Amino acid sequence: MANQEDIFKKVISHAKEYGYVFQSSEIYDGLSAVYDYAQNGVELKKNIREYWWQAMVQLNDNIVGIDAAIFMHPTTWKASGHVDAFNDPLIDNKDSKKRYRADVLIEDHVAKIEAKIEKEVKKAAKRFGDSFDKEQFLATNQRVLDYQTKVDGILKRMGKSLENEDLADVKSLIEELEIACPLSGSKNWTDVKQFNLMFGTKLGASADSAMDLYLRPETAQGIFVNFLNVQKTGRMKIPFGIAQTGKAFRNEIVARQFIFRMREFEQMEMQYFIKPGTQQEWYEKWKEKRMKWHLSLGMGEDNYRFHDHEKLAHYADAAADIEFRFPFGFKELEGIHSRTDFDLSQHEEFSGKKLQYFDPEENKSYVPYVLETSIGLDRMFLAVFSNSLKEEELENGTTRTVLKIPAVLAPTKAAVLPLLKRDGLPEVAHKLIDELRWDFNVIYDEKDAVGRRYRRQDAAGTPFCVTVDHQTLEDETVTIRHRDTMEQQRVKLSEVKDIISKEVDMRYWLQKI
Ligand code: ATP
């Protein structure tokens, strides 16, 4: 089996070859950690955004959307804590001159120990066969328990030192764990320093009157500052939510994982305003709801897990990540944070305006608590794309490359293929496309033998191929081929639209939530 690195390389090259993701400004050798979405990528991204938006806004009476500006008044970022505390701890290797995030170095070390646990589990599962009880094994096997104690100890210590801003201890931890630079193998480290991640820019023409601004590092603050506007104009009653998707910018120190960590990226965030004291209940509910959303896409339950935060951000009283099994291991895909009344209270203090809700049931006003769900659209894209890319061995001994993107998210739903370029077949194919394009993205392909065209569509992720042949001219039937099973059916031309609709309609997928 290919190793993780090879699989990831294949993902990146496939994304380029099939028109999903290009490096930004590639003709100038690119810009680090900035990417462009290509003709297929833009459709996949749009579909993921829409799938999220429908689940949040359309299907919930009490959640509405907004689209706030990227530029915000600079005081916003003082109030939110980003000016003072939006830092990453960084450390340089003196030999390779490479810069790392200290917490990521430690987490990668932990991931290696966790991989050992997984290996033990796999070995034992093989040995015990059907009678294997994973929970029991994890709770009783001494080797696994030792590894787990180690993991817990490291994360706890790291969490504590980061929380106390004890950067010297973070360095000591790296030294004690004998973590080496992945590039040079050297353990010759500088001290750990803090680095602010916000991009600064200026508003205004003349040098003296220009105002220093930041590109927003998260979309959430656009929601908080509009809380009262939305509550009043929408006559919203607590609990209610405000959802938003949009660009965010972070000057990431380590940005080497394709679209996993970008400097310009898109977030899909929802802030849920609740009564103080109910945060634990909503935290659990939203964790469950968000996991269901992920699972509805059918990408495999084993590929997700919750990770509770050891180190809580300055605004949170509980936080968990939904992690996904990326080609480079389990990593954060979405965060669910109980943000208390931190943000609204801060904005009250810095703006001097009241941001309170009058609760008619309690007959009093209060600053609501907030429960946040925050997912990176680009990370979700990478999760879908990398998980969908498969090399399959076929019965006849050949292999095929297939991109099994959930049909609801696929950029193009069907390709219509005339068997030959003559005898009136292209005309029938075009007529079918003209009918289908009102409902889905469809494409026409007449080049090469039909088998090659099937392979091309498999690799591009198109869930259906519809082939028009001579029999079509006689009895108005076509062959419809399913990407995942390669099964072919002969169906009436008039049924094609319904067959595709059933499998790509968001309604069908969202009903699983
Ligand atoms: P990480 O620990 O990976 O840096 P984070 O905890 O800082 O992420 P949040 O601030 O909670 O991330 O942001 C919410 C979501 O936004 C993340 O779960 C992730 O999906 C996405 N995200 C954050 N930073 C980036 C980035 N640089 N590129 C792409 N997506 C990102």
DSSP string, 336-379: EEEEETHHHHHHHHHH-----EEETTTTEEEPPEEEEEEEEHHH
Ligand 1 centroid–CA 332 distance in Å is 7
The tokens for 511 are 């009903």
Helix axes 102-128, 167-176, angle to 10 degrees: 40
Going from the C-alpha of 396 to that of each of 2, 448, 482, the distances in angstroms are 22, 21, 18
Under a CB-based contact definition with an 8 Å cutoff, are residues 402 and 410 in contact? no
Indicate which residue's Cα is closest to atom 21 of ligand 1: 376
Give the whole-angstrom CA distance, residue 442 versus residue 435.
Answer: 10
Cβ contacts of 297 within 8 Å, gap of 6 or more? 51, 384, 406, 408, 409, 509
Residue 467, ligand 1, Cβ within 6 A:
no
Q: Is 334 exposed, middle or buried (0-12, 13-18, 19+ CB in 10 A)?
A: buried
Show pLDDT as tens, one digit a residue, over the chain (513 residues): 467 888 999 999 999 999 999 999 999 999 999 999 999 999 999 999 999 999 999 999 999 999 999 999 999 999 999 998 888 899 999 999 998 999 999 999 999 999 999 999 999 999 999 889 988 999 999 999 999 999 999 999 998 998 888 999 999 999 999 999 998 999 999 999 998 899 999 888 777 777 889 999 999 999 999 999 999 999 999 999 999 999 999 998 777 799 999 999 999 999 999 999 999 999 999 999 999 999 999 999 999 999 998 777 777 889 999 999 999 999 999 999 999 999 999 999 999 999 999 999 999 999 999 999 999 999 999 999 999 999 999 988 999 999 999 999 999 999 999 999 999 999 999 999 999 999 999 999 999 999 999 999 999 999 999 999 999 999 999 999 999 999 999 999 999 999 999 999 999 999 988
Structure tokens at 445: 């392909």
48 ligand 1 Cβ < 6 A: no
Q: What is the pTM of this model?
A: 0.87
Q: Which domains does the chain have, with CATH numbers?
A: 1-79+197-389 (3.30.930.10), 87-195 (3.30.40.230), 412-510 (3.40.50.800)
Structure tokens at 451: 């088998």
For ligand 1, atom 29: residue with the closest CA = 261
Q: Which of 454, 43, 57 is nearest to 243 (CA)?
A: 57
State how beta strands 211-214 and 329-340 pair. Answer: unpaired
Q: Judge if the beta carbon of residue 335 lies within 6 A of ligand 1.
A: yes
Which pLDDT does position 165 carry in this prediction?
Answer: 85
Do you know the residue count of the chain?
Answer: 513
Question: What is the token pair recorded at 52?
Answer: 């999220």
Phi, psi of 443 (to 5 degrees): -130, 160
Q: Separation of 376 CA from ligand 1 center, angstroms? A: 6
Ligand 1 atom 8, closest CA: 332
Separation between Cα atoms, residue 99 and residue 255, nearest integer Å: 10
Of 265, 290, 328, 370, which is best to mutate to test ligand 1, by the most ligand atoms within 8 angstroms of its C-beta? 265
Judged by DSSP in three states, 95 sits in coil
H/E stretch holding 321? strand 318-326
Strand ranges (DSSP E) for 423-500?
442-444, 464-468, 477-482, 488-492
Distances (CA, A) of 75 to 79, 197, 303, 306, 346: 6, 17, 40, 34, 11
* Distance set, CA 400 to CA 15, 414, 417, 447 (Å): 16, 19, 19, 19
Q: Among candidates 389, 265, 323, which has minimal Cα distance to 12?
A: 389
**Cβ–Cβ under 8 Å, residues 242 and 64:** yes
Of 218, 217, 220, 231, nearest in space to 368 by CA: 231
**Binding-site entries for ATP:** 250-252, 260-265, 332-333, 376-379
